[in-house]
Structure 1
Amino acid sequence: MSGAWHIAATLAAPALRWNLRRRIAQGKEEESRLPEREGHGAARPEGRLIWLHAASVGESLSILPLIEALAERDAGLHILVTTGTVTSARLLPQRLSPALAQRVTHRYAPLDVPAWVARFLDGWRPDAAGFVESELWPNTLAATHARGIPLALLSARISARTAARWGRFAPGFARGLLERFQLIMPRSAEDAARLRALGARDVAVPGDLKLAAPPLPADEQALAALRDAIGRRPVLLAASTHPGEEAQVLEAAEAIRRDRPGLLTILAPRHPHRGPELGPWPRRAEGALPGAGPVYVADTMGELGLLYRVAHVAFIGGSLVPHGGQNPLEAARLGCPLVFGPHMQNFTEVTAGLLGAGGARQVPDSAALAATVADMLTQSEATAAMARAAGEWVAANAALPGRMAEALLGLLGKAGRAG
């Protein structure tokens, strides 16, 4: 099957190149950096180089503590980070300190075409490579392994559905992919069991990098302006919402306003381009601040840290619709009381941990959301205690980046030993 994938990807190269051009018009690619998608643009520094690949925004931000831990432990180390989205490419440099930025290089990941991957690897020649969560690209893994570059899978995750499908239809293919890794650090015990069942070796103690990410930042001037515009109004933030959720949140907010007419609901859609479709409300993308009306649309990127700091309660999107939920940890780190819907399967262990610690509340529908948020706004002491419990639960994972950095650095001496 790996041979078939190699041939298929090679034949698909012209279509992939056309699709990359098409994505420029959608704002999903940077035209000036399009050659990177074909493996061009190598500028390898002297010395040791670790390559970390993180697919998108959440994964790329989750590796920031790992990058810091690697840099602290090896003063001569350089780090190459590849991602696949424009947003992650723009946010990552903003989150690096000036000193760290000098040792970290970002490139867009080459697509999984054999010739493009080979060009990338020939140019960068990493001493070790770490892939985050579920980035299992067959040609990339095969070429990296063939060059004797040690491979690690970090915060590795695989859903029960995917594991069952691979086990039924392509067990040999799955085993072949996983056996290329010399180190697998699963996200959870459940992920570890699924990966072992598919043939993974060298599975370490579970650990989720997203649990150890730093608090989201906020511009102080923007924060002061937003707080001034809001005044003393209670704020319900609907963070990273998906289609079909905003209407449910607004329905719940309308019910809450019967007793709390000053409630301000902030809608922060997961995909900011949806801002104009959410209603005739002031929009942050247009430079507006909240007015006297009941709703404000925060349709910008990279400002959740700002929004969590002004919210009295945060609803975590992707959970009232069957998407699987968005990351609740960002709110927890900033002491923002949080609530989510029934669909949190993307964060099963995190959800269970937060609920078990008394650090979050879960609701089945919009009617229950209204009652729960109203209660959280009324019971301020209990709500504050819940936020503290969430923060303490998240803080318990602070040692993970260091442990992961030690494991990755241990691979550097194994370069050239592909087996």
Structure 2
Amino acid sequence: MPALRICTVTDGLDAVLQVALLLSSVGDDTTRTDLRLNAAQEALGKTGAEDFDLIVLAATDDGRSPDMLREVARIAVARGATVLLRGPDATLPEGLPPDLGILRGPPFPAGSLGQILAAAAPVGGTTAAFRPEPGTGSGPRVPLRRLIARLAGQEEAVPPPLPPDAPQVHVIQPTCGGAGSTTLSVNFAVALAERAKLGDGRTAVCVLDLNLQFGSVGTYFNLPENSQLRDAYRNIRRIDAEVFQSCLQYPAPGVAVLQTPAEIMPFDALTAASVGELIALARGTAPLVIVDMPHCIADWAEQVFVEADQILCVSTLDVRCARNARLLERLLAASSATRTPPEHVLNRAPSRRSREWEENRTAFETAIGRPLCAVFSDGGAQVAASCDEGNPLCSGSPKTALAQEIRAFVGRFPMPLAQQGER
């Protein structure tokens, strides 16, 4: 097993002693970076998701700086497995991120580091929730579970490589207008293309914008209008591989985009057959396909869901999205043709998440009948500016918390074999 990369963040001597007790069972095969709490926000902001295997926070005097601790914890969990050390009876500041593990001690549980970390409880929880379940490495707290599995000598839950003859189609479906699904689609595309590393000018990701009335993928990539698109959609049944390729534009390395025409098209400009053909052509262009959907469900939407390997429903934390997500769940459950159940992500979450917010999140999950697979922070004015400039956040501002969260999320997606250097 490669050397364990640990980052510690402390606010004083007592915190340093806590960390020393925790890491006393760690062998010599580690690298360690020690930071002070008041400098950690800037230092961690300059790191990436691959820089540390474990981040340990120990703040024994956070009563004077709860805001600082919350912000450092938020940045840390966006980069991977993170635990906060607390005394057995110490209270927790409100608004800590839910993926943060809370480890009570000293005394800490006996055993190896992996056994100690497995005793961590989620924020607001009282029992350990990070221990990997038999045969799995996934769950709502994936980074810490994967680290524990690795320390226990179990096989790390890495997505299987994607064979060349089985492209993956990821459908991004908003549950309301303005949920930010297109922002996620374009940044998923950039992050996936960077991760695939196909090189030699090859296309890793093909993005289809199927919001024929108000699609924004082209705007968010700052693409010029393509006059061929209007003619292609007016004769949608005649689109073949040659016409499809002539309509594509390439805004970023490894990314191809089929944007919408420069005029509002009726929803029935597409049919189930033509949508299936567009997805087939996109599959022939790249091993990974992202379909950016409108928030309205058209007649042809079922065909898109049938083609999907993953359906990501994007919501914000409000009643209308919870209601719409539940309706979409019922619609997809009633269709025997779809191959995969939908997964749900929350977008535009506050960076400081209060207890009330966490309670609302739990109510949202209860309403839709399944847990969320990801929560993305509100990028604020920086995201709005990147969209207006046509410069996706993951390429223009890659060190922001939201960009890091997106990269960590797409790290779960299967990759083409080509990234392994096999072709």
Structure 1 length-normalised TM: 0.34
Higher helix share: 1
Higher RCO (C-alpha 8 Å, min separation 6):
2
**Given the two structures, how large is their TM-score scaled by the length of structure 2?**
0.34
